[in-house]
Amino acid sequence: MNQNEPVIRVKDLVVSFGAFRAVDGVSFDVRRGEIFGFLGANGAGKTTTIRTICGILNPSSGSVEVDGHDISSSTAVLKPHIGYMSQKFTLYPDLTVRENLYFAGSLYGMTPKQIAERSHKLMDFIGLSEELPDPVSHLSGGVKQMAALASSLLHDPELVFLDEPTAGTSPQTRASFWALIRRLAERGKTVFVTTHYMDEAEYCGRIALMERGKIVAMGTPAELKKKFFPVKPLELSFTKPVQHAVRQALEKAGIASAVFGATLRVRAPERAELERVIAPFQDGVSVQEAEPTLEDVFLQAVSGRKAV
Amino acid sequence: MNFSWRRARSVALKEYKHILRDPFTLLVTLVLPLVFVGFFGFVIDLDYKHMRVYVRDNDQTSVSRRFLQEAASSGYFDLKPIHGQFQLDQALERNDSPALLVIRRGFGKNVRAGNPENPGEIQLLSDGTDNVQASIMGSYMQGVVQKANAVFAKDNPDLTDAAAGAGERIRSRFLFNPELNSRWFIVPALSTIIIGFLAIVLTALTVAKEWENGSMELLLSTPVRPSEIVLGKLVPYFLLTFFDVLVVFLLAIYVFQIPFLGSFLFYMVACWVYITGALALGLVISVVTRQQQASIQFAFAVGLLPSFIFSGFIFPIENMPAFFQYFTALFPQRWFLLISRTVFLSDAAPATLATALGAIVVFASAMILLAVHKFKTDVEP
């Protein structure tokens, strides 16, 4: 198969629950071997989109094609090629990690020997001992997440869907998750991941920003930064405690600012205006150009839409 | 999209582990049958004996005394003679007896005369607030009357045949359970109640639990099919429930000494079918409600209630209004109860129970199909 050929094609997807449109006319392609990130607030429609592609929710209208098969009519053909890690913890709390893995693997038709070999490799990579004797409910949050990930990767799926895999885990766990995700992509697996963490989104090949059931921006991180910040944003740092006063002055002048640690960030095109507003605080403020982060992009994309 | 035995087996093995690790399920399954058997087998005794009966003998002849002797020796009655209005009022006030027996003046004379137009009469006034006891007492007294009639006829060979037969209008014999021993009647029926309740509750929780803890989402994203999940969940609970049936069976035979006259094989087949139907009904409830709390409420409503009320366990079906007689036919409990009691107490050929077996086969098949058909394969709320 061609590397650049889309493996997932979503076209005008609408998923409604009663009168509520959780996904409201979404279209995108995901290419084979890509790490595709889905960003957005809770309730933006990320999970609903993922569940629909995995074949456990039915589209209200529009189409989802995976590997050339329509998902609604070919779920049975596609399911063996899909690995899904839900946002909810879905392992059985009263079974051990090994028992959970054994169960998941056997549903995919793997033999006990295959399961043992494969889980050994996975656990080794994840850095988890498969000999954990306790039921899963006794394990810590990070270990549980790792076990859930292992369970969704056990059958070596072509397409991996991870719904907020790193939510509530430690920075070390997040780092090893992403190391694993990158390695999956290197092996030609397609990884579709949702996250809350903007810094994680930087690892994605392409990202889509979702807001209220719609995709408001899509592209590589660099493309998005360029698109929303043709001129780099400005960062105000303070040498005197005037941050609050400056913020109020900016607000009065209608210039949106965002607190960023000890600094304030402001969109660049308003530079002339900005200089005028901060003139009274001159000796307490310095202005320099900053690299836009995906967080800036997200805020920009969302506020831009709201303004319309 | 083929059914996979391997996947069904995986589900069954997983379910088996859940059972082993859930002390509550194990406790309920192992203890509940013992509680039921203990309660219904030992504590509740529907055989009324030594019922206190106040007696007012206004006749005071050798015949009336002979009659009372007959009643006392039956063992069912504790006769307490009362004299005069004062004692009668006291007895009524104490309200400690279900009945009052009055022998009219002239009873002895009439009996001796043996005139069918003018027989000796006794009056039994019983407390209708306990209608079960009242009717049992009525029929026991009927028996005493018959026996007394026979005695009088022997004592008085001058009586014509017609006169001697005057008191023998009612003639009933209880086949298979000649003593109408209520344990013989109740204990074989206990399996009906235990399966009809326990099996439904056990499976009613299983699918709902998967929905509530999120594991259903994982299941649905794998290639496993509803029919495989349904079968996989039936098997372990089937074994568990069948174990209970065997326990109750052995208690019935060895502890309660109840005869088992019918075909053991037929009884076992009927048990298997009935257990399967009850478990599948639990699954249907679970699949439809997808919530443990709602499931358990439904399970009580369709498991416990019909097991007692519509099965014939408490209220005999024959005494129900016509509509309810047909209505009870919808419940497998009714059919299995019939099978249970029949195979224990009579050696009737299995063919006579073909309708009952057919009914539970139909029920079990329908429930399995419904559970598979209603199984939701997407996570839409």
Q: Which residues of chain B make contact with A107, given a CB cutoff of 8 A?
A: 7, 10, 219, 222-224
Tell me the DSSP string of B160-227: -HHHHGGG--------SSTT--HHHHHHHHHHHHHIIIIIHHHHHHHHHHHHHHSHHHHHHHSS--HH
From B6's Cα to the closest Cα of chain A, the distance in A is 7
Stretch A208-212: mean pLDDT: 90
Taking a contact as any Cβ pair under 8 Å apart, which residues of chain A between 232 and 271 contact chain B?
Answer: none
Distance CA A11, CA A29 (A): 8
| Cross-chain Cβ contact B6/A88 below 8 Å | no
Confidence grade of residue A31 (pLDDT, cut at 50, 70, 90): very high
Structure confidence by residue, pLDDT tens digits, B305-347? 888 888 888 777 877 888 888 888 888 999 999 999 888 888 8
Report yes or no: A122 and A153 within 8 Å, Cβ to Cβ.
Answer: yes
Taking a contact as any Cβ pair under 8 Å apart, which residues of chain A between 101 and 130 contact chain B?
Answer: 103-104, 106-109
For chain A, state the CA radius of gyration. Answer: 23
Distance CA A209, CA A37 (A): 8
Is the pLDDT higher at B32 or at B48? B32
| Cross-chain Cβ contact A107/B22 below 8 Å | no
Confidence grade of residue B156 (pLDDT, cut at 50, 70, 90): low
| Cross-chain Cβ contact B218/A82 below 8 Å | no
> Is B163 a residue whose pLDDT tops 50?
no
Choose the closest CB to A17 out of B14, B377, B380. B380
Confidence grade of residue B47 (pLDDT, cut at 50, 70, 90): low
CA distances from A215 to A33, A179, B104, B220, B260 (A): 22, 27, 99, 27, 73
From A74's Cα to the closest Cα of chain B, the distance in A is 10
Distance CA B170, CA B153 (A): 17
CATH number corresponding to A6-225: 3.40.50.300
Amino acid identity for residue B304 in this structure: L
From A68's Cα to the closest Cα of chain B, the distance in A is 19
Stretch A105-126: mean pLDDT: 89
Asked if the C-beta of B139 comes within 8 angstroms of chain A's C-beta atoms, the answer is: no
pLDDT given for residue A89 in this prediction: 87
Share of chain A above pLDDT 70, in %: 95
Asked if the C-beta of A20 comes within 8 angstroms of chain B's C-beta atoms, the answer is: no
Distance CA B277, CA B360 (A): 7
Report yes or no: B102 and B125 within 8 Å, Cβ to Cβ.
Answer: yes
pLDDT given for residue B162 in this prediction: 44
Confidence grade of residue B171 (pLDDT, cut at 50, 70, 90): very low
Distance CA A162, CA A274 (A): 42
Confidence grade of residue A308 (pLDDT, cut at 50, 70, 90): very low
> Is B169 a residue whose pLDDT tops 70?
no
For chain B, state the CA radius of gyration. Answer: 28
Amino acid identity for residue A50 in this structure: I
Q: How high is the mean pLDDT of chain B?
A: 83
Q: Which residues of chain A make contact with B222, given a CB cutoff of 8 A?
A: 79, 104, 107-108
Stretch A234-239: mean pLDDT: 83
- Our CA angle for B101, B102, B108, nearest 5°, is 120
- Within A72-220, strands assigned E span 82-85, 159-163, 190-195, 206-211, 214-219
| Cross-chain Cβ contact B218/A76 below 8 Å | no
Highest mean pLDDT among A40-49, B148-157, B304-313: A40-49
pLDDT given for residue B18 in this prediction: 93
Highest mean pLDDT among A209-218, A274-283, B76-85, B303-312: A209-218
Distance of CA A32 to the CA centre of its chain: 17
Query: By three-state DSSP, how is residue A246 classified?
Result: helix
From B224's Cα to the closest Cα of chain A, the distance in A is 6
Q: Where are the domains of chain B?
A: 5-44+181-374, 51-167
Confidence grade of residue B152 (pLDDT, cut at 50, 70, 90): confident
| Cross-chain Cβ contact A76/B1 below 8 Å | yes
Amino acid identity for residue B193 in this structure: I
Asked if the C-beta of A17 comes within 8 angstroms of chain B's C-beta atoms, the answer is: yes
Residues of chain A with CATH 3.40.50.300: 6-225
Q: Class of A230-291 per CATH? A: alpha beta
Distance CA A121, CA A67 (A): 27
Of all residues in chain A, the one with the smallest CA distance to B216 is: A90
Tell me the DSSP string of A252-305: HTT--EEEETTEEEE-GGGHHHHHHHHGGGGGGEEEEE-PPPHHHHHHHHHHHH
Query: Which CATH superfamily does the domain covering B51-167 fall into?
Result: abc type-2 transporter like domain (3.40.1710.10)
From B11's Cα to the closest Cα of chain A, the distance in A is 8
| Cross-chain Cβ contact A55/B213 below 8 Å | no
Q: Which helix (H) or strand (E) holds B9?
A: helix B5-21
- How many CB atoms are closer than 10 A to CB B2? 6
Residues of chain A with CATH 3.30.70.1510: 230-291
Tell me the DSSP string of B89-143: HHHHHHT--SEEEEE-TTHHHHHHHT-TTS---EEEEE-TTSHHHHHHHHHHHHH
Asked if the C-beta of A94 comes within 8 angstroms of chain B's C-beta atoms, the answer is: yes
Class of residue B314 by CB neighbours under 10 A (exposed 0-12, middle 13-18, buried 19+): exposed
- How many CB atoms are closer than 10 A to CB B137? 22
Asked if the C-beta of B377 comes within 8 angstroms of chain A's C-beta atoms, the answer is: yes
The most distant pair of C-alpha atoms in chain A lies apart, rounded to whole Å, by 74
Classify B107 in phi/psi space as left (phi over 0), alpha (psi -120 to 50) or beta: alpha
Distance CA A98, CA B4 (A): 22
Token reading at B100: 């009052």
Token reading at B316: 């005999």
Query: Per mean pLDDT, which range of A59-68, B122-131, B287-296 is the poorest?
Result: B122-131
